[in-house]
């Protein structure tokens, strides 16, 4: 099976928790977003804010590779939810705005935020490479 790449939209605090716990989770712990992941899939976490009502971040903040074979339920600081095990790379957060013209999933840079309204979505290899380069990840 081919390796796929995804963006997960979470607050920066949630990204930090996921990295510390060695997991990926999306959409408030729903099962469906983690169910279709496979070991080896790459996940880039985008943080719109520090927390639900926090300060703007608007950056890619983490890079993970899925390692878990199956989703499972885990207790999170914000409640119980589904997740998958993942390993994280050390990255330098990368602001999204300088990349807007280069990301194919951003249809109109004036309304770029619309692309991130989904909790998780698949991206092309070219988009992954653009983001991974900005994060200083070796793709």
Q: Give the pLDDT band (50/70/90) at residue 23.
A: very high
The β-bridge relationship of strands 5-9 and 42-49 is parallel
Single pTM value for the model: 0.94
Q: Within the chain, how many helices (H) and strands (E) appear?
A: 3, 8
pLDDT in tens, 1-21: 689 999 999 999 999 999 999
pLDDT in tens, 93-117: 999 999 999 999 999 999 999 889 9
Token pair belonging to 49: 């804010």
Q: Give the pLDDT band (50/70/90) at residue 50.
A: very high
pLDDT in tens, 126-139: 999 999 999 998 65
């Amino acid at each position: 099976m081919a390796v796929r790449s995804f963006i997960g939209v979470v607050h920066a605090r949630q990204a930090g928790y996921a990295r510390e716990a060695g997991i990926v989770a999306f959409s408030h712990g729903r099962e469906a977003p983690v169910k279709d992941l496979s070991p080896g899939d790459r996940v880039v976490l985008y943080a719109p804010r520090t927390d639900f009502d926090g300060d703007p971040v608007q950056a890619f903040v983490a890079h993970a590779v899925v390692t878990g074979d199956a989703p499972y339920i885990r207790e999170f600081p914000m409640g119980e939810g589904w997740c998958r095990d993942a390993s994280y790379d050390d990255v330098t957060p990368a602001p999204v705005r300088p990349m807007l013209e280069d990301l194919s999933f951003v249809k109109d840079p004036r309304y770029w935020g619309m692309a991130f309204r989904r909790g998780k979505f698949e991206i092309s290899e070219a988009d992954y490479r653009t983001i991974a380069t900005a994060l200083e990840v070796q793709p």
